[in-house]
Amino acid sequence: MAYRVACTVSYDGSAYHGWQRQPRELSVQEVIEASLQQLHNGAEISIYGASRTDQGVHALGQVFHFDTTIDIPIERMALAINTYLPEDIFITEAKVVEDHFHARKSVLKKTYCYKLMVNQYLPHERHRMGFYKGELNLESMQQAIKELIGTHDFSAFTQHATYDSYDRTIYAATLTKTETGLELIITGSGFLRHMVRIIMGTLLLIGSNPSVKIKDILASKDRQQAGLNVAPEGLYLLQVDYE
């Protein structure tokens, strides 16, 4: 009898061309599906992910689902899938869900983190963090981030993508100082392509020029008014929440 399984997966995205399967590039989805194919004695299994993370982006809490008839106790499912996965992808949890559950369509909110080195470049962190060199007004950045809270048209904070609606709701956003630089944590109903990276770039723009205002950028709906699209290496999908 077929049943649906939802898995939480953590991965280092450095070696992959993003989450989604690509025709000529290696993706995280492709590697997991290959693992499931081995587990299912050669039968092809399709998975559906909560977020299409870009090339170089990491995850601690990506979620995907698949349908199966395999006779494996659910408490051993994660271990079974991990047996065929490389060391940079790891299933942390597997559970049986209702047939109507969909890893992407059932999402209530997602939380991302962006980690940034500031004025101290650490080579061993180059695939884990972004880098910025320059003076920053942290107080201005922390004030600006409050203006993101709520529902807004985020047209100015995406590129190379077309959507039916550019409205997204941000529930929480914080920017904190760390030993190596800065860490942005942001939770929203969903995010446009490159949105979190452009938000981080815009905060850096404000940190170097406090006269720039988030509310003016939002109102402009103009990508050219927002900051740079910072490097993908510092971005992590932390958590996906469902009902």
Residue 160 has a pLDDT of 78
Active site residue 164: no
Below-50 pLDDT ranges, the chain: none
Residue 214 has a pLDDT of 96
Residue 58 has a pLDDT of 98
Residues 220, 155 contacting (CB under 8 angstroms)? no
- DSSP string computed for the chain: --EEEEEEEEE-GGGSS-SS--SSS--HHHHHHHHHHHHTTT-----EES--PPTT-EEEEEEEEEEE-----GGGHHHHHHTTS-TTEEEEEEEEE-TT--TTTTEEEEEEEEEEEES---GGGTTT-EEE-S---HHHHHHHHGGG-EEEE-GGG--S---S--EEEEEEEEEEE-SSEEEEEEEES---TTHHHHHHHHHHHHHH-TT--HHHHHHHT-GGGS-----GGGEEEEEEEE-
Which residue among the candidates 12, 54, 88, 241 is catalytic per the annotation?
54
Residues 202, 214 contacting (CB under 8 angstroms)? yes
Q: Do 3-97 and 107-242 come out as alike in CATH topology?
A: yes
Residue 159 has a pLDDT of 85
pLDDT in tens, 106-162: 999 999 999 999 999 999 999 999 999 999 999 999 999 999 999 999 999 998 788
pLDDT in tens, 39-49: 999 999 999 99
pTM score of the predicted model: 0.95
Distance CA 210, CA 214 (A): 10
Domain ranges of the chain: 3-97, 107-242
Distance CA 11, CA 27 (A): 11
Domain 107-242 indexed as CATH 3.30.70.660: yes
Domain 3-97 indexed as CATH 3.30.70.580: yes
